[in-house]
């Protein structure tokens, strides 16, 4: 899957598909690994920004977590099972969420070095948390887990990564942008039912 761009012609460029790059990287081709990293660093960085709480940012920053995510993913490519172009981004997202959770736990175990003045500490939740609230965020994650894989990929690509329906269609191998729109709509309906039973 290619990162979304503002130029439709750029999106149609003859870049190799993610599946081809993964197979080449599994075969040991360093250039394929580099292309995968270059393709996903900006996407993951945009998505991860603001997800690491302020109290955990003293030693790790978003860029560090993105790099850890990609290194873990590339190291474990042999275990990755591709179910379409969007599956790899979902795989990366899960690794990144796990890295954020690990960092939160690691930070919680560290002794405090004293309090910073409140005006220096960013107490604000991430943009997504602001939009739906922390409790809803937890229900959102649980609800995503209840969606079928294809719907989950489509919903994540639309809500969290801002992909267009055309880009989602390519990622989930839907026949058209309208078909992708329907997958997203049905996924959002099921997600809403799971969040608000």
How confident is the model over 40-74, as pLDDT tens digits? Answer: 888 888 877 767 666 555 545 778 888 888 888 88
Check if CATH label 1.10.1740.10 holds for domain 1-6+14-110: yes
Least confident of 100-104, 106-110, 185-189: 106-110
Q: Give this prediction's pTM.
A: 0.58
- Please give the pLDDT value at position 179: 94
Mean pLDDT of 114-125: 54
Q: Which CATH number fits domain 130-197: 3.40.50.2300, 1.10.3720.10, 3.30.565.10, 1.10.10.10?
A: 1.10.10.10
Q: Is the pLDDT of residue 14 over 70?
A: no
How buried is residue 75: exposed, middle or buried, by Cβ count under 10 Å (0-12/13-18/19+)? exposed
Mean pLDDT of 103-109: 74
Domain boundaries, the chain: 1-6+14-110, 130-197
């Amino acid at each position: 899957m290619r990162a979304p761009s503002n130029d439709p012609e750029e999106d149609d460029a003859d870049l190799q598909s993610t599946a081809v790059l993964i197979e080449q990287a599994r075969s040991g081709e360093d250039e394929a690994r580099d292309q995968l990293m270059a393709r996903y660093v900006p996407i993951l960085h945009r998505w991860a920004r603001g997800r690491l709480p302020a109290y955990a940012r003293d030693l790790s920053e978003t860029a560090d977590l993105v790099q850890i995510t990609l290194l873990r993913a590339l190291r474990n490519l042999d275990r990755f099972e591709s179910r379409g172009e969007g599956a790899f981004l979902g795989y990366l997202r899960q690794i990144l969420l796990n890295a954020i959770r690990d960092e939160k736990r690691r930070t919680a175990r560290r002794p405090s070095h004293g309090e910073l003045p409140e005006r220096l500490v960013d107490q604000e939740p991430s943009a997504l948390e602001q939009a739906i609230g922390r409790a809803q965020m937890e229900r959102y994650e649980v609800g995503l887990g209840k969606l079928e894989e294809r719907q989950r990929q489509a919903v994540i690509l639309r809500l969290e990564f801002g992909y267009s329906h055309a880009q989602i269609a390519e990622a989930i191998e839907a026949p058209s942008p309208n078909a992708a729109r329907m997958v997203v709509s049905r996924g959002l309906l099921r997600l809403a039912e799971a969040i608000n039973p």
